[in-house]
Structures are given as C-alpha cells and as structure tokens.
Amino acid sequence: MEITAEIKDRLSLLQEKYAAMGQDITAYLDGLLYADYLTYWDYIHLDTLLSLQHPKTSYPDEEIFIMYHQITELYFKLALHECRQISANTSLTPDFFASRLKRINAYFTALVSSFDIMVDGMDKEQFLKFRMSLLPASGFQSAQYRMIEIYSTDLIQLVTLSKREQLKHATPAEQFENIYWKYGASELSTGKQTLTLQQFIVKYAGQLLQLAQNNIDHNFSSLYKTLVQRGEDMTAVEAELRKLDLFVNVEWPLSHYKSAVRYLERDPVDIAATGGTNWQKYLPPRFQKRIFYPYLWTEEQIEQWGKSWVMNVLKAYRT
C-alpha cells in the first residue's frame, strides 16, 4: 500500500501530539499494530450489562421491574451529563444552554413515554408479591434524580411547600433540612422517617447538600437570570425550561402516580409503597407545588399545577 501524502501528514500531526506529551509515537503505533479490532459487544460491555439483573423472587415480571429501573438510571445519567456541561460552562450562551436543555428534555420524553412499561407492563398479582422482597428499597432512593432537581433550580424551590416562604432567606443547610422529599418518606401511621429515607440520608445527604452549595450560582435558574441581566435573547431557553419544569415536576411524578393507582389503590385502604412513602400526597404535583421556574408561569398556571392531569389519571383507572 502506498504511503500517501495524506497519511504522512497524519503521522506528522500524531508525532507532534505525542512529542508534546513527552511520548514516543513508535510505541503507540506498535499498540495499534498488535491490538485486536474493537467489537460492539466489547465496546459497550454487553455481556456485563446483560448480567446485572438479579431478581429476588421467582416471579418472571420482577425482571421487567429491575431492567426498567436500570434503564431509568441510565437516562438520568445522560441528563446529568448535560447538567454538568451547562453548570460548568464558563462562557455560557443562550444557544448552548438551550441545546443542552433540549437534550435533557429528549431524555425525559423517552422516560415519560416509556413508563407504560411500569403501568401496564407487569402482572398486578406478581408485582404485589415480589415487591415485598424489595423492602425497604424504593425508587425514592434515586440520588441521580435528586441531583437533576438540584442542578435545575434554586434550592428554595425544593423546600416543602409549607415552609418555603419561611425559609426563603435561610442557609442552604437549613433549606436542605426541609427539602420536600423528606416529608414524602414518612410512615403513614406515625409520621416518622421511614427506613428507606434513613438509608438514603446516610448515603447521599452530604453529597447532595454539597452539590446544592456548589451550584448556588450555577443552577439553571441562577444561570438563566444572569443571562437575562446581560440582555440576552432567552426565548429558546425559556421554552426548554418550561418543558423541563413540566417533565420533572408534573409528568414524571404523575407517571409514578398512575402506576401507584394501578397497583396500590385498593378499597377500603390503599396499599403502601415499598418504601412506606405516602404516595397519595407525595406524588401529585397539586399538593407539592414543586415548580423550578415560577417566574415563567402565570398565577393561574401555578394554581392549576398538575391538577387536570391527576383527575384524568384517576378517572381512567377507576372506571
């Protein structure tokens, strides 16, 4: 094979690259010579990926439950990949901001549209049995989801609604102590923290609080306001922020609510979620009024936050 001028140019650039790092290009060329060709299954570690499902029972549909939650966490990881790009960008522009938000919204589009796997994709009787082997584990313990929330908004918007006004000038530590999800994981009978919440706090509370403190000036809401003050055209960013607000605070929790109604609602007493969370009050957005960007919505929209969606879910599953 002829060594063309193009190949020589590439070799020259490679030599410059490795020389700048104090490396010998010959050793790297030997590495290319001896290396095997890369395969798809090795590149994505397919065999490892497919070996990560370990059901606790013999019910077949438990494997569906495991795989869907693993897929969900991978989508959250994709979203966090974009969150970090936005937060760490020292020369943030509206175009870059909007393009990365659009990616995050694409991931949540896939998540919300796929949740029917959880709503209708498992046998109800199987679920109600195998779920008991999972205690006290719960999807509530998804730290990645909490991280997405922290990247998305000022911490005060994540404080439980009853204390939001009172703590709007409090320290991040005080606000975090009253974050909404701590009130959702309480025992229905006593109001005490569930073991699910206790486990989560021990493992992740310090990391989440540190993330919130590090992003006081770099969460999406703060970055948006900074760009507005510069006089930037934020039309595209605002559209994507509204979509994100609806995905994370309305459509995603209500997808879970739909699933809870399907599997856990029962007369005369509803079945508790695996983590013991008060799902009837915790999941519906109209109770939490969790809104990342209240300044992008009208008073009427805030007042009706998620209400019609809940009514539609209840109507569909009670008829």
- Name the β-bridge partners of 193: 186
Say if CB 81 and CB 149 are below 8 A apart: no
CA 25 remoteness from chain centre: 42
Q: For the chain, how far is it from start to end, CA to CA, in angstroms?
A: 73
Beta-carbon contacts of residue 219 (< 8 Å; ≥ 6 apart) = 87, 150, 151, 152, 153, 154
pLDDT computed for residue 86 by the predictor: 98
Instruction: Give the length of the chain.
Output: 319
Which of 66, 187, 74 minimizes the C-alpha distance to 127?
A: 66
Say if CB 61 and CB 127 are below 8 A apart: yes
Distance CA 288, CA 199 (A): 23
Q: Which two tokens mark 108?
A: 């949540």
Q: Per residue of the chain (319 residues), what is the pLDDT tens digit?
A: 688 999 999 999 999 999 999 999 999 999 989 989 999 999 999 999 999 999 999 999 999 999 999 999 999 999 999 999 999 999 999 999 999 999 999 999 999 999 888 888 899 999 999 988 998 888 889 999 999 999 999 999 999 999 999 999 999 999 999 999 988 777 666 778 889 899 999 999 999 999 999 999 999 999 999 999 999 999 999 999 999 999 999 999 888 777 777 766 654 444 455 555 555 555 555 567 899 999 999 999 998 887 765 545 445 444 4
Which of 148, 124, 62, 114 minimizes the C-alpha distance to 260?
A: 124
Distance CA 221, CA 97 (A): 11
Q: What is the tens place of the pLDDT at every residue in 91-109?
A: 999 999 999 999 999 999 9
